[in-house]
Homo-oligomer: A and B are copies of this chain.
């Protein structure tokens, strides 16, 4: 195994005390602390997007110009930091989805969102990894964001199906899995930057999703 990839696992199984190990951002917050928090989020956003969930937390600390301890003061786990960063992407895409819900052409609206999600993933590794983990959001607190996202997609899918633009035998879960699989597709094979190949794959998926109406070629 010559590969030099970073690890995915090994987050401690049961943190000994999550009590007040990190700031309970509910009331005050000292000036420098606030600034550091922002630096951490900015650094995390950048690095997670570039390298994905797998980079060591220490790199984010470096990039942010703070110590490891400081990160843990602000976020209880690496996971929590990851989510804090990713929730933005989700909200952005959700609002795009919502604005597409009233588009005159349900088919176009659907495929537009489909492409948007894929484009985001193509350039944003954090988004890919979030998809990869299944749980787009696990915090109970942010459950709403996930539900919004899912229901926006479901809505677009249903409308497109009713308009006979998308095959009717699939559900949101299928869609999710399909998106996921395409996002991961280019992770392998050396040049993950081959955008042409990526577009060809997306094109295959889109054609495959189209409603075949009546004229199905026999098997």
- Using CB atoms and an 8 Å cutoff, list the residues of chain A in contact with chain B: 1, 3, 5-11, 77-79, 131-134, 167, 169-170, 173-174, 176-178, 180-182, 184-186, 188-190, 197, 200-201, 203-210, 212, 217
A3 surroundings in chain B (CB, below 8 A): 9, 133
- Give the CA-CA distance A119 to B171 in the complex, in Å: 22
* Contact present for B209 and A134 (CB under 8 Å): no
Copies in the complex: 2
A173 x B189 contact (CB < 8 A): yes
- CB contact between A212 and one of B5, B7, B207 (< 8 Å): that residue: B207
Complex-state Cα separation, A135 to B5, whole angstroms = 15
For the complex with contacts A8-B9, A204-B208, A205-B205, 10 further pairs of A-B residues with Cβ separation under 8 Å are: A1-B78, A131-B188, A170-B200, A170-B204, A173-B197, A178-B185, A178-B204, A180-B185, A181-B201, A204-B205
Q: How far is the CA of A60 from the CA of B197 in the complex (A)?
A: 38
Which residue of B has the minimal Cβ distance to A216? Answer: B207
Compute how far the CA of A10 lies from the CA of B6 in the bound complex, rounded to whole angstroms. Answer: 9
Residue of B nearest to A1 (CB): B11
Report the minimum CB–CB distance from A197 to chain B (whole Å).
6
Given the complex, which residues of B lie within 8 Å of A206, measured CB to CB? 208
**Chain B's nearest CB lies how many Å from the CB of A65?**
26
Q: Which residue of B lies closest to A77 (CB)?
A: B1
**Cα separation A1 to B190 with both chains bound (whole Å):** 28
Q: How far is the CA of A67 from the CA of B204 in the complex (A)?
A: 48
